[in-house]
């Protein structure tokens, strides 16, 4: 859209930007919050962008971070636009009106994509619905994959997370000029974005930069450093270079992306394997984020909205026919799930008893979902009763087999169900009335900290959004989650398998990865 003299202009610390008026709100896209992370700044912490003279056009999305494309299987369901260019540390702002006196609540959005894909340019994340309803929406690009989360002896860890922290500082310093209130910032994300939110809640360096947080289908966590190092070493072996940031910085960007995709080919939420992720670094992430939030006093005053979809695992297992493959593998798949979840046969027997009609793939999927998402989010809510609100998204996609899968709630939260990219997951005919109530709940939480249902307490209230009116169910997952702590101290995981058993289960997982042949998300 071409700019004209009636379009809004806002002055930021580095210079003025000209946005656009669209759908009754003001939109500013591609505003740099840090300098391009390439050349001498590659694999280095973010630094402020260079100031500019005149008025910078902010009518189009800025460059996206380097990333490999989704496999053909997942690209049918997930949109991931690519905008070329080096200036990828940028953000977008949707606001009802850029009036410094408005003091409106602010929602800062961190996209998902396993920390290897995704961007703020995904149409599902269009912020006009939030701006229409009185919330300033900011969406952020950050470094991905080996550029953002590689672990090297000669570079800082968690560069993508450091980018997000730099963006939060920018928002805190600049958002008033766009009509936002720097004292009413909510940090939100889904999947890898929610994992990032959890790390920032727990980080002492992010204190005071936001007031509330939303974690959608992603818990606070830190990956084992050796798991990330294995990814880097795999890439280094394929590239025939040392596993150092200096060596990787000299590699052609496209070759680096192809190598990254190949090295992570058989990883994924269900199968595990080497991956990129947030690690404890003694600085930005001084300790495991979940432990810090459960046991310490990290961000005790932050209100939390968090939850999951009923059938998270179906996005990981249905594309490519892996669901049927897992069902055929039967005991092999169950052994792999035990290895992935570090649990014993008693957990599998318990799930079988609670879900007598379920197939192997459903049992495996629910076990992995509970292990990765519901257990840690329950622990977090238990540690913060009275200020935590928990939901479950249970509306099933119109597309065969997907159910209420991972990521399906996004088009409803943003009220962007009319976008073709939302229909990739939801299918045709998604109910607008569900979008109305879910989006309104998020707006209420961002505005005053109460999404409209009972906060977490000993009865474990969970707000269920599915077919029909939203309703509260108490302890809907308690029976399954109790299986994991049987015989363990309160709040602790069950004991890990002994050495020989663990080795056997790891071998089973490796076999399952080879048999599946499906690229992970």
Which of the residues are catalytic?
A: 191, 312, 406
The three-class DSSP label of residue 23 is coil
Query: Which DSSP letter does residue 60 get?
Result: S
Longest dimension (CA), the chain: 72
Q: What share of the chain is helix, strand, coil (3-state, %, to 5)?
A: 40, 15, 45
Sign of the four-CA dihedral 492, 495, 499, 501 = negative
Chain mean position to CA 390: 17
Query: H or E segment at 425?
Result: helix 420-426
Q: How far apart are CA 273 and CA 48, in angstroms?
A: 35
> Which string of DSSP letters, residue by residue, matches 177-194?
GGTEEEEEEEEEEETHHH
Beta-bridge partners for 474: 461
Q: CA 496, 501, 506, 508: dihedral to nearest 10 degrees? A: -130
Tell me the C-alpha to C-alpha distance, in Å, between residue 364 and each of 272, 298, 330, 337.
Answer: 13, 33, 10, 6
Tell me the C-alpha to C-alpha distance, in Å, between residue 199 and each of 140, 285, 376.
Answer: 16, 7, 13
Q: How far apart are CA 11 and CA 285, in angstroms?
A: 33
E-strand ranges in 204-273 read: 212-216
Closest CA to 176 of 102, 110, 109: 102
Residues 153, 138: contact at Cβ < 8 Å? no
Q: What are phi and psi of 268, to 5 degrees?
A: 160, 170
What lies within 8 Å, CB to CB, of 102 at 6+ separation is 96, 179, 180
> Which string of DSSP letters, residue by residue, matches 268-304?
BTTTB-S-------SSSS-S-HHHHHHHS-TTTT-EE
Closest CA to 311 of 413, 397, 428, 215: 397
């Amino acid at each position: 859209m071409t700019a004209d003299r009636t379009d809004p202009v806002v002055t930021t610390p580095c210079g003025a930007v000209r946005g656009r008026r669209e759908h009754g709100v003001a939109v500013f896209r591609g505003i740099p919050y840090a300098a391009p992370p390439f050349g001498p700044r590659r694999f280095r912490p973010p630094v402020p962008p260079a100031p500019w003279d005149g008025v910078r056009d902010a009518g189009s999305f800025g460059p996206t971070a380097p990333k490999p494309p989704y496999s053909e299987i997942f690209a049918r369901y997930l949109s991931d636009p690519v905008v070329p260019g080096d200036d990828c540390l940028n953000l977008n702002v949707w606001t009802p009106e850029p009036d410094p006196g408005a003091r409106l609540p602010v929602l800062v959005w961190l996209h998902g994509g396993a920390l290897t894909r995704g961007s703020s340019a995904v149409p599902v994340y269009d912020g006009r619905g939030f701006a229409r309803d009185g919330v300033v929406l900011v969406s952020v690009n950050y470094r991905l994959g080996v550029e953002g989360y590689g672990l090297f002896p000669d570079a800082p860890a968690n560069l993508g997370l450091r980018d997000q922290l730099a963006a939060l500082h920018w928002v805190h310093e600049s958002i008033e000029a766009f009509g936002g209130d720097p004292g009413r910032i909510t940090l939100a994300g889904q999947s890898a974005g929610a994992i990032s939110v959890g790390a920032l809640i727990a980080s002492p360096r992010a204190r005071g930069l936001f007031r509330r947080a939303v974690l959608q289908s992603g818990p606070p966590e830190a990956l084992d450093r050796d798991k990330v190092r294995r990814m880097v070493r795999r890439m280094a072996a394929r590239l025939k270079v040392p596993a150092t940031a200096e060596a990787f910085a000299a590699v052609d960007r496209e070759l680096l992306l192809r190598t990254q995709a190949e090295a992570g080919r058989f990883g994924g939420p269900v199968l595990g394997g080497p991956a990129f992720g947030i690690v404890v670094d003694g600085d930005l992430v001084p300790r495991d984020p979940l432990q810090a939030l459960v046991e310490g006093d990290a961000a005790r005053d932050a209100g939390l909205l968090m939850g999951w979809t009923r059938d998270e695992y179906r996005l990981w297992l249905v594309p490519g026919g892996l669901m049927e493959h897992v069902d055929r593998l039967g005991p092999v798949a169950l052994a792999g799930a035990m290895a992935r979840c570090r649990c014993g046969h008693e957990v599998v027997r318990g799930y079988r008893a609670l879900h007598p009609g379920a197939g192997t793939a459903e049992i495996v999927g629910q076990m992995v979902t509970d292990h990765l998402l519901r257990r840690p989010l329950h622990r977090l809510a238990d540690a913060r009763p009275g200020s935590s609100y928990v939901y479950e998204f249970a509306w099933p996609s119109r597309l065969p087999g997907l159910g209420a899968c991972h990521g399906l709630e996004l088009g409803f939260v943003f009220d962007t169900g009319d976008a073709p990219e939302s229909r990739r997951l939801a299918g045709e005919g998604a109910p607008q009335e569900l979008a109305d109530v879910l989006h309104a709940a998020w707006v209420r939480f961002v505005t005053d900290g109460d999404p409209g249902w009972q906060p977490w307490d000993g009865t474990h209230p969970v707000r269920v959004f599915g077919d029909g009116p939203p309703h509260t169910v108490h302890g809907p997952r308690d029976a399954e989650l109790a299986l994991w702590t049987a015989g363990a101290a309160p709040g602790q995981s069950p004991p890990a398998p002994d050495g020989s058993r663990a080795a056997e289960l790891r071998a089973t997982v490796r076999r399952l990865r080879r048999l599946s042949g499906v690229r992970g998300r």
